[in-house]
Structure 1
Amino acid sequence: MRSGQQAALGKDLLDFMDALAIPQATLAGFDWGGRAACIVAALWPQRVRGLVTGDGYNIQAISQSLKPRPPETEHRLWYQYYFHTQRGVDGLTANRRELCQLLWTLWSPSWAEGPSRYALTAPSFDNPDFVEVVIHSYRHRFMYAPGDPALEYIEQALVPQPPISVPSISLCGADDGVGPPSLEDDDVEHFSGFYRRQVLPGVGHNVFQEAPQVTLQALLELLER
Structure 2
Amino acid sequence: MDTLQPLRTIDAGVLSVAFHEAGPADGPPVVLMHGFPYDIHSYVDVVPILASAGCRVVVPYLRGYGPTRFLREDTMRSGEQAALGADLLALLDALAIPRAVLAGYDWGGRACCVVAALWPERCTGLVSYNNYNIFDHARSLEPDRPDNERRLWYQYYFHSERGREGLRRNRRELCRLLWDTWSPTWRFDGGTFERSAAAFDNPDFVDVVIQSYRHRFNLVPGDPAYADIERRLAAQPAIAVPTITFDGADDGVRSPSPASAHAHRFTGWRDHRVVRGAGHNLPQEKPDVFAQAVLELVRRAG
Give the TM-score category using the shorter length.
over 0.9
Give the aligned residue type for 1:142. F
Alpha-carbon deviation of 1:173?
Answer: 0.6
Corresponding residue pairs, total = 225
Q: Percent identity?
A: 57
Deviations 1:23-74 (A, max 9, x none): 0000100000000000000000000000011111110001100011110010
> Counterpart in 2 of 1:32?
107
Tell me if 1:221 matches 2:296: yes
Separation (CA, whole Å) in 2 of partners of 1:165 and 1:106? 33
Taking only aligned residues, the RMSD between alpha carbons, in angstroms, comes to 1.0
1:70 to 2:145 alignment: yes
Single out whichever of 167-176 and 106-115 deviates more from structure 2. 106-115
| 1:209 aligns to 2:287 (yes or no) | no
Partner of 2:267: 192
Secondary structure (helix, strand or coil) at the match of 1:109 reads: coil
Which structure dedicates a bigger proportion of its chain to helix? 1
User: Which structure carries more strand by proportion?
Assistant: 2
The amino acid across from 2:141 in the alignment is: L
Q: 2:234 is matched with which residue: 159, 163, 188?
A: 159
Structure 1 CA distance, aligned partners of 2:252 and 2:191? 19
Q: What's the TM-score once normalised by structure 2's chain length?
A: 0.73
Normalised by the length of structure 1, the TM-score is: 0.98
**In structure 1, distance between residues paired with 2:211 and 2:168:** 14
Is residue 108–residue 114 contact of structure 1 (8 Å, CA) maintained in 2? no
The CA deviation at 1:183 is 4.3
d(CA) in 2 for partners of 1:207, 1:73: 20
Q: Is 2:259–2:272's contact at 8 Å kept on the other side of the alignment?
A: no
**Which one has more relative contact order, counting CA pairs under 8 Å at least 6 apart?**
1
Letter matched to residue 144 of structure 2: R
The residue type paired with residue 130 of structure 2 is D
* Aligned twin of 2:166: 91
| Segments of 4+ moved more than 3 angstroms | none
Q: Please give the per-residue CA displacement for 1:156-211, whole angstroms capped at 9, x wherever unaligned.
A: 00011000000000121100011110346411211100001110011000011111
Unaligned segments of structure 2, at least 5 residues: 1-75
Q: Distance in 2 between matches of 1:117 and 1:41?
A: 31
